[in-house]
């Protein structure tokens, strides 16, 4: 079953000889790395949207070291429990979570606005349909998806409602209250708690909240891993440079990742 939609005319895309093409002859070539770019120029607001190459490389290095493995495992276990066929990962980044999700479903699409992230992701797993695209116009057909996932990513509600089948699922992962708290205490004079529950209020009219739970992942970072963690977060540019530099001087630093998982069902 094909899941992709032409971002220009919204017709179904079909793959022939490494080119995705719709009935109106709009065509999109599969890049040598294995992804397709469906982020058309009329939908762009900047030349290189999304995460910087430095942030993507830092995240790849940090996640590959396994510090967030408890979250990855919890997400995979829930997908296995749901027994769904068609999954769309919104904001897939460099593919750490998407890669693990793919083994539990028949078809998996990973979409991210950052081309440099998708380029890295596409090298990891050829069984995933990797797409450069925007949540404002998800390049996926109406009512074709059983589960949308958004891990630390935007939640384009109307587009998610469009692509989900009736009674399909949405999984949202956000930072929980204690997420990286010790690091934020060093970086900022005032630490504001994460407001993870705001997503529930935004979605309550169209989605039923089935489950919510917290995953803890304590770890001790060596200096190189600490630098990667800082570089992959918004704290890299939100914190004052002198505070960031002081934190990066630590040879070891104890932290706790804490993740809030929500599972919704489309009403």
CATH number for the domain harbouring residue 155 = 3.40.50.150
Q: Is residue 20 part of a domain?
A: no
Alpha-carbon distance 262 to 205, whole Å? 15
Instruction: State phi, psi for 139 to the nearest 5 degrees.
Output: -80, 50
Mean pLDDT of all residues in 167-185: 96
Q: Is residue 14 part of a domain?
A: no
* Predicted pLDDT at 114: 93
Q: Is residue 227 part of a domain?
A: yes
Mean pLDDT of all residues in 243-254: 97
Calculate the average pLDDT of the chain.
94
DSSP state of 42: G
Q: Is residue 19 part of a domain?
A: no
108 and 89 Cβ atoms separated by less than 8 Å:
yes
Q: Is residue 215 part of a domain?
A: yes
Residue 249: band (very low, low, confident or very high) from pLDDT cuts 50, 70, 90: very high
Residue 124: band (very low, low, confident or very high) from pLDDT cuts 50, 70, 90: confident
pTM for this predicted structure: 0.94
Question: CA triplet 252, 254, 256: central angle to 5 degrees?
Answer: 145
For 228, the 3-state DSSP assignment is helix
Domain count, the chain: 1
Beta strand spans in 79-230 (E)? 86-90, 107-112, 129-132, 145-151, 164-175, 207-222
Q: Is residue 77 part of a domain?
A: yes
Q: Which domain holds residue 225?
A: 33-266
* Predicted pLDDT at 45: 52
Q: Is residue 100 part of a domain?
A: yes
138 and 10 Cβ atoms separated by less than 8 Å:
no
Q: Is residue 25 part of a domain?
A: no
């Amino acid at each position: 079953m094909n899941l992709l939609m032409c971002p220009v005319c919204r017709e179904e895309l079909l793959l022939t000889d490494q080119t995705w093409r719709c009935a109106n002859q709009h065509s999109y070539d599969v890049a040598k790395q294995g992804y397709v770019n469906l982020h058309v120029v009329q939908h762009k607001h900047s030349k290189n949207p999304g995460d910087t190459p430095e942030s993507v490389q830092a995240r790849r290095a940090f996640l590959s070291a396994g510090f967030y493995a408890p979250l990855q495992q919890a997400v995979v276990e829930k997908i296995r429990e749901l027994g769904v066929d068609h999954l769309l990962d919104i904001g897939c980044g460099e593919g750490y979570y998407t890669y693990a999700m793919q083994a539990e479903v028949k078809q998996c699409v990973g979409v991210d606005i950052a081309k440099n992230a998708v380029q890295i992701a596409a090298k990891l797993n050829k069984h995933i349909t990797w797409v450069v695209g925007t949540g404002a116009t998800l390049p996926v057909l109406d009512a074709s998806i059983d589960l949308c996932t958004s891990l630390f990513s935007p939640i384009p509600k109307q587009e998610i409602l469009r692509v989900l089948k009736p009674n399909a699922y949405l999984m949202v992962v956000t930072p929980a209250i204690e997420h990286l708290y010790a690091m934020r205490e060093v970086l900022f004079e005032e630490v504001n708690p994460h407001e993870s529950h705001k997503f529930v209020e935004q979605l309550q009219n169209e989605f039923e909240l089935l489950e919510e739970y917290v995953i803890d992942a304590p770890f001790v970072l060596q200096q190189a891993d600490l630098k990667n963690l800082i570089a992959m977060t918004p704290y890299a540019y939100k914190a004052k440079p002198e505070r960031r530099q002081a934190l990066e001087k630590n040879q070891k630093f104890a932290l706790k990742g804490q993740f809030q998982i929500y599972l919704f069902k489309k009403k």
